[in-house]
Chains A and B, each alone.
Chain A
Amino acid sequence: MQRDAQLRADILELVREYYQERFANREFRPGVDLVHYAGRVFDAQELVNLVDSSLDFFLTANRYSESFEADFADFFGLSNSLLVNSGSSANLVAITSLTSPQLGDRRLRPGDEVITVAAGFPTTVTPMIQNQLVPVFVDVNLGDYTAIPSMVEEAISPKTRAIIMAHTMGVPFDLDTVMRLARAHDLWVIEDNCDALGSRYHGKLTGTFGDLATVSFYPAHHVTMGEGGAVITASDMLGRITRSIRDWGRDCYCAGGENNTCGKRFSQQFGTLPFGYDHKYVYSHIGYNLKVTDMQAAVGLAQLGKLEEFIARRKANFEKIYDMLKPYIEQLLLPHPTPYSDPSWFGFVITVRKESSFTRNDLTRFLEANRIETRNLFAGNLLRHPAFMNIEHRVVGDLTNTDIITERTFFIGVYPGIDDTQLDYLGSVFARFMQGERVS
């Protein structure tokens, strides 16, 4: 073995030792350690990959990114997967891609309407505004927190061109209805799959129904690379457009450090440029730079190998929490899946019933005081936030349930870092609250 290869092997062995010393076998101390709502779950392999990629010192996307994109596309059985630097960037790339002139008459144009929901994470909606599209908000069901299907149908107008919604908290929205409407009205569909990696609908993975789908790899999500996200699609044309939007808007699809991948770098005609203008600097879109580094992808690749195990653990944790909280259904509305769906749960969403003798904040304060992390269902009603109060939009029907979510809904974790000891502790804290114990 050459000396540099031997040194690399020695370093990676030390990294494995470091993992054992620093991270392995940490015991949960009830009431002292946090029961997180989410977090990174990893072993030595993530650290090894991370250091291995740093020793390449290629820095920008390279072998790990390439492997991750290929494996991730394989997971979905799709031909295109594009890494970006966050789930929010994935939404920005996906939505902006639908404005591409290369889509001809089907491209989205300013003023076109997009059906969505207001109860969710802001960056499902913000790229619509950034692209001068008009979000049309419909209310959601309580319990599954996805769009009310009849309202989606009611929201369609002559200006409607797309449906872009999240599988909120891992629960697939009614894809039968959405895809039927999309076919009938020639609408684009983007699945925001950031919360739902591994969820299924009629047995098929969410993210494979629409024209495009997005995924997040923030540490709170099913697999992580710190900051990261992906856009997936079965369409080669959309795949090429998303790559252009991500990579400064350029026409060339060479990876970083590569040249003439297309084989015609100096022999094409673009716009009014001189014939043969270097393809690397030809721009066919108004784009961004939203790429990842290879270090991020290296961590993600190790995580991807654990995905099935993570999904199973999320489902098992959900079931156990559900059983523990079932005695309190008079006070708490517990979550449930939509018909035909098998969620890969993001969290365990609870709505405090109106008839309860306590408020959401009574309960979340008690949980937090006992080291159990809680989170609201993201933004609640987006339209009540300062940034969104004056956006151009339309509301179909009313947003009664969305407002209820804003006032009475929160979630706790089901992520694979929560073990049975933590679950038992969590159950005991809920029991104490339900017996009347409060934060003084």
Chain B
Amino acid sequence: MPQKVQCTITQVIDHGERVYSVFLKPDSLAPRFRPGQFLHFALDPYTPGDFWPESRVFSIASSPEDRSLLRITYAVKGQFTTRMESEIEVGHQVWVKLPYGEFMISPERDACLLAGGTGMTAFTAFLAGLRAEYPRNVHLFYGARCPELLIFRPLVEEARQRCLRLHALYLVEQGSDSIAYIPGRIDLNVVWKSFPDPLVARYYLAGPPEMLRILKSGLLQRTVSPSCIITDEWE
């Protein structure tokens, strides 16, 4: 059930390249949410019973199993995130409302997760809860500008230790010659070579709008059913 919750900012991590993670401690336990859901984050004051102020949506990057600490990760891209960059400080109180959204990974089919940059946060709660007995294969393609911005790589590796059905490939656009990374952006040619039957999987896409547009169009051209292409899109 969506609820408005006042939170205290307990930590801000500067990942570089104007990408940040913000940790929020709710004054009361956050409502239950599911992996893949998002919250609205407001910078301006809110008085309960009054109108909700301007806010922006962010995937809840933290696990639903710990509702005492919420994490969001954002890249500075517009006016609101510019304000976030300049105004957010540890100890500040902010309001969030959550949970919303239906970007949930179904265990009915193998899943192919295509995550670009901070879009990865749409999958982190799912991966944090992934257990050995998960009934399907999960193929993750996680791309970022540089290796340092593969912020959630440790979480992915932990999940791989627990669940052998999780397969992950990392892609970086620049800054590495390591064989641990495939150079470039997420490319469907790479995806198609990476697992045996890509047409039976369901595709979950989260990342910048341009990435979503290109990949969605490419998947449709490769005759993936529209019902098997799920995008985490916001304005």
Contact = CB atoms under 8 A, between A and B. Distances in A.
Contact of A63 (B40, B48, B233, B235): B48
A263 B49 contact: no
Contact of B1 (A80, A258, A264, A294): A80
B57 A263 contact: yes
Tell me if B's interface is mostly helix, strand, loop or mixed.
Answer: loop
B100 interface: yes
B235 A264 contact: yes
Contacts of B104: 236
Contact of A56 (B31, B32, B50, B100): B50
Interface residues of B, number: 22
B15 to A, nearest CB: 23
Interface in B37-57: 38, 40, 48-52, 57
A62 interface: yes
B1 A73 contact: yes
Contacts of B49: 53, 56, 58, 62-63, 294
A342 interface: no
A263 B51 contact: no
A41 to B, nearest CB: 26
A267 B48 contact: no
Interface string B154-179: 00000000000000000000000000
Contacts of B233: 264, 267
A239 to B, nearest CB: 9
A258 B40 CA distance: 12
A258 B52 CA distance: 7
Contacts of B100: 253, 261-263
Contacts of B38: 263
B131 interface: no
A248 B34 CA distance: 27
A263 B1 CA distance: 17
B235 A67 contact: no
B194 interface: no
B107 interface: no
Interface string B1-15: 111100000000000
Interface in B169-191: none
Interface in A251-280: 253, 255, 257-258, 260-267
Given A80-B1, A255-B2, A263 B235 contact: yes
Nearest to B37: A236
A155 to B, nearest CB: 32
B17 interface: no
A70 interface: yes
**Residue of A53, A67, A236, A263 contacting most chain B CB atoms (<10 Å):** A263
Contacts of B34: 79, 236
A70 B2 CA distance: 8
Interface residues of A, number: 28
Interface in A197-228: none
Contact of A66 (B3, B32, B51): B3
A62 B2 CA distance: 11
A257 B233 CA distance: 23
A296 interface: no
A63 B47 CA distance: 10
A81 interface: yes
B32 A79 contact: yes
Interface string A302-336: 00000000000000000000000000000000000
B102 interface: yes
Nearest to A259: B52
A69 interface: yes
Contacts of A261: 2, 40, 100
B3 A70 contact: yes
Contacts of B235: 260, 263-267
Contacts of B102: 236, 240
A70 B4 CA distance: 11
Interface of B: 1-4, 31-32, 34, 38, 40, 48-52, 57, 100-102, 104, 233-235
Interface of A: 53, 56, 58, 62-63, 66-67, 69-70, 73, 79-81, 236, 240, 253, 255, 257-258, 260-267, 294
Q: Which 8 A-B pairs have the closest CB atoms?
A: A263-B234, A56-B49, A263-B57, A70-B1, A63-B48, A69-B1, A63-B49, A73-B1
Given A79-B34, A80-B1, A263-B235, 11 more contacts: A63-B4, A70-B1, A79-B1, A236-B104, A240-B102, A257-B52, A261-B100, A263-B57, A265-B235, A267-B233, A294-B49
26 contacts: A56-B49, A56-B50, A58-B50, A63-B4, A66-B2, A66-B3, A66-B4, A67-B3, A69-B1, A70-B1, A70-B31, A80-B1, A81-B1, A236-B34, A236-B104, A240-B102, A253-B100, A255-B2, A257-B51, A258-B52, A262-B100, A262-B101, A263-B57, A263-B234, A267-B233, A294-B49
